[in-house]
Amino acid sequence: MTVGLPPFELLGRHLIEGSTDCVKLIDLDGRVVYLNSAGIELLDLNCTEDLVGRVWVDLWEGEHQAAARAVVARAMAGERTSFEGFCRTARGADKWWDVVVTPIADNDGIVVQLLTISRDITEKRQAADFRAGQQHVLEMIATGAALDVILTRLVQLVERHSAGMWCSVILLDEDGMHLRRGAAPSLPEGYNQAIEGAAIGPRTGSCGTAMYFGRTTVVTDVLVDPVWEDYRELAVAYGFRACWSTPIFSAQKRVLGSFAMYYPDPRPPLDEEARLVEVAANIAGIAIEHHRTLEALRRSEERNRAILRAIPDWMFILDPNGVFVDYHAKNPADLLVPPEVFLGKAIWEVLPPVISSALETAMAGALASDEPKKFEYSLESDQAQHFYEACVVRCDANRILSIVRDITDRKRAEMDAHVQRRELAHLSRVATLGELSGAMAHELSQPMSAILINAYAAMRLLSQEPVDLAETKAAIEDIISNDKRAGAVIERLRTLLKKGHIAFEAIDLNDVARDVLDLTRSDFLARRISVTTHLAPALPPIDGDRVQLQQVLLNLVLNACESMNASEMHERRLTVTTTTNDGFVRIAVSDRGVGIPEDQRAAVFEPFVTFREQGLGLGLAISRSIILTHGGRIVAENNPDRGATFTCLIPMRPVAATV
Amino acid sequence: MVDSTAMNLAVVDDDVDVRAALNRLLRAMGHQVRLFASAEEFAGDGHDFDCVILDIRLPGLNGLELREQTRAAGRCLPLVFITGDGDYLLGDDVPTDVPTLRKPFDEDSLVAALSLVVGSFR
Mean pLDDT along residues A185-193: 91
Mean pLDDT along residues A169-198: 91
pTM of the predicted structure, to 2 decimals: 0.46
Residue of B nearest to A570 (CA): B60
Determine, for residues A457 and B84 on separate chains, whether the beta-carbon distance falls below 8 Å.
no
Is the alpha carbon torsion for A626, A632, A638, A642 positive or negative? negative
Determine, for residues A449 and B88 on separate chains, whether the beta-carbon distance falls below 8 Å.
no
- Rounded Cα distance, A80 and A63, in Å: 21
DSSP of A411-425: HHHHHHHHHHHHHHH
Inter-residue long-range contacts of B96-104, CB under 8 Å, 24+ positions, other chains counted: B98/B67, B100/B56, B102/A445, B103/A445, B103/A446, B103/A448, B103/A449, B103/B18, B104/A445, B104/A448, B104/A449, B104/A451, B104/A452, B104/A453
Inter-residue long-range contacts of A456-463, CB under 8 Å, 24+ positions, other chains counted: A456/B25, A456/B106, A456/B107, A457/B21, A457/B24, A457/B25, A457/B28, A460/B25, A460/B28, A460/B29, A461/B28
- Rounded Cα distance, A566 and A392, in Å: 61
Determine, for residues A456 and B102 on separate chains, whether the beta-carbon distance falls below 8 Å.
no
Q: Which of B21, B84, B85 sits opposite A457 (nearest CB)?
A: B21
SS3 B31: coil
pLDDT in tens, B55-104: 988 888 889 889 999 889 888 889 999 988 765 555 567 777 889 998 89
Question: How close, in Å, is residue A418 to chain B by CA atoms?
Answer: 37
What residue type is assigned to position B63 of the chain?
G
Mean pLDDT along residues B7-19: 94
pLDDT in tens, A386-445: 888 999 998 877 888 999 988 888 877 777 776 766 666 777 777 777 767 767 777 888
| pLDDT at site B28 | 94
Question: How close, in Å, is residue A616 to chain B by CA atoms?
Answer: 21
Determine, for residues A446 and B18 on separate chains, whether the beta-carbon distance falls below 8 Å.
yes
| pLDDT at site A658 | 43
Question: Which chain B residues are within 8 Å of A484, Cβ to Cβ?
Answer: none
Model confidence at B27, in pLDDT bands (50, 70, 90)? very high
**Residue A587 burial (CB < 10 Å; 0-12/13-18/19+)?**
buried
pLDDT in tens, A547-605: 888 888 988 998 898 888 888 888 899 999 999 988 899 999 999 998 888 777 777 77
Question: How close, in Å, is residue A526 to chain B by CA atoms?
Answer: 6
Determine, for residues A460 and B18 on separate chains, whether the beta-carbon distance falls below 8 Å.
no
DSSP at A609: -
Q: Which of B21, B57, B86 sits opposite A449 (nearest CB)?
A: B21
Mean pLDDT along residues A289-315: 86
pLDDT in tens, A48-85: 888 888 999 988 888 889 989 999 999 999 899 999 88
Interface with chain B: mutation pick from A445, A468, A469, A472, highest number of B CBs within 10 Å: A445
- Rounded Cα distance, A644 and A462, in Å: 56
Percent of chain A clearing pLDDT 90 (strictly above): 33
- Rounded Cα distance, A231 and A119, in Å: 46
| 8 Å CB contact between A115 and A101 | yes
Percent of chain A clearing pLDDT 70 (strictly above): 93
- Rounded Cα distance, A249 and A255, in Å: 5
CA distances from B99 to A136, A613, A621, B36, B88 (A): 122, 33, 45, 20, 18
User: In the beta sheet, which residues pair with residue A35?
Assistant: A24
Interface with chain A: mutation pick from B12, B15, B102, B109, highest number of A CBs within 10 Å: B15
CA distances from B4 to B26, B31, B105 (A): 11, 9, 21
CA atoms within 13 A on the CB side of A556: 33
- Rounded Cα distance, B57 and B13, in Å: 8
DSSP of A423-461: HHHHHHHHHHHHHHHHHHHHHHHHHHHHHHHHHHHHHHH
pLDDT in tens, A450-508: 999 999 999 999 999 899 999 999 999 999 999 998 998 888 777 777 666 667 889 99
Is the model more confident about A90 or about A415? A90
pLDDT in tens, A389-402: 999 998 877 888 99
Strand order in the sheet with B8-12: B32-36, B8-12, B51-55, B79-83, B100-102
- Rounded Cα distance, A623 and A554, in Å: 10
Establish if A483 touches chain B: CB-CB under 8 angstroms.
Answer: no
Establish if A486 touches chain B: CB-CB under 8 angstroms.
Answer: no
Question: Which chain B residues are within 8 Å of A449, Cβ to Cβ?
Answer: 15, 18, 21, 82, 84, 103-105
Mean pLDDT along residues A23-43: 90
**Residue A569 burial (CB < 10 Å; 0-12/13-18/19+)?**
exposed
Q: How many beta-carbon pairs under 8 angstroms link A with B?
A: 87
Computed over every residue of chain A, the mean pLDDT equals: 86
Q: Which of A450, A478, A526 sits opposite B57 (nearest CB)?
A: A526
Model confidence at A3, in pLDDT bands (50, 70, 90)? low
- Rounded Cα distance, A441 and A522, in Å: 9
- Rounded Cα distance, A26 and A117, in Å: 11
Inter-residue long-range contacts of A373-380, CB under 8 Å, 24+ positions, other chains counted: A376/A407, A379/A336, A379/A352, A379/A355
Residues in chain A: 659
Establish if A452 touches chain B: CB-CB under 8 angstroms.
Answer: yes
Q: Which of A32-46, A348-362, A515-529, A637-651 has the lowest mean pLDDT?
A: A515-529
pLDDT in tens, A342-379: 899 998 888 888 888 889 899 888 888 888 888 888 88
Question: Which chain B residues are within 8 Å of A454, Cβ to Cβ?
Answer: 21, 24-25
Model confidence at A614, in pLDDT bands (50, 70, 90)? low
Question: How many Å separate Cα A557 from the centre of its chain?
Answer: 54
Residues 6 or more apart in contact with residue A295 via CB below 8 angstroms: none
Residues 6 or more apart in contact with residue A559 via CB below 8 angstroms: A589, A591, A611, A612, A619, A620, A646
| 8 Å CB contact between A114 and A104 | yes
DSSP of A509-527: HHHHHHHHHHHHHHHHHHH
**Residue B54 burial (CB < 10 Å; 0-12/13-18/19+)?**
buried
- Rounded Cα distance, A317 and A58, in Å: 71
String of b and e for A2-24 (b: at least 16 CB within 10 Å)? eeeeeeeeeeeeeebeeeebbbb
Where do runs of H (alpha helix) occur along A270-371?
271-310, 339-342, 347-350, 353-368
Does residue A277 have a pLDDT over 60? yes
Question: How close, in Å, is residue B58 to chain A by CA atoms?
Answer: 7
| pLDDT at site A536 | 93
Mean pLDDT along residues A104-112: 88
Helix and strand element counts for chain A (H, E):
17, 22
Determine, for residues A438 and B105 on separate chains, whether the beta-carbon distance falls below 8 Å.
no
| pLDDT at site A5 | 58
Does residue A18 have a pLDDT over 70? yes
Phi then psi dihedrals of residue A612, to 5 deg: -100, 150
- Rounded Cα distance, A564 and A591, in Å: 7
DSSP at B2: G
Residue of B nearest to A446 (CA): B18
Question: Which chain B residues are within 8 Å of A574, Cβ to Cβ?
Answer: none
| 8 Å CB contact between A248 and A285 | yes
| 8 Å CB contact between A32 and A56 | yes
DSSP at A231: G
Determine, for residues A457 and B28 on separate chains, whether the beta-carbon distance falls below 8 Å.
yes
Question: Which chain B residues are within 8 Å of A526, Cβ to Cβ?
Answer: 57, 85, 89
Establish if A614 touches chain B: CB-CB under 8 angstroms.
Answer: no
Question: How many Å separate Cα A198 from the centre of its chain?
Answer: 35
Determine, for residues B18 and A453 on separate chains, whether the beta-carbon distance falls below 8 Å.
yes
Inter-residue long-range contacts of A221-224, CB under 8 Å, 24+ positions, other chains counted: A221/A266, A222/A266, A223/A266
Q: Which of A595, A599, A601 is nearest to A645 (CA)?
A: A595
Residue B69 CB neighbour total at 10 angstroms: 14
Complex confidence, ipTM = 0.90
Model confidence at A2, in pLDDT bands (50, 70, 90)? very low
- Rounded Cα distance, B39 and B54, in Å: 8
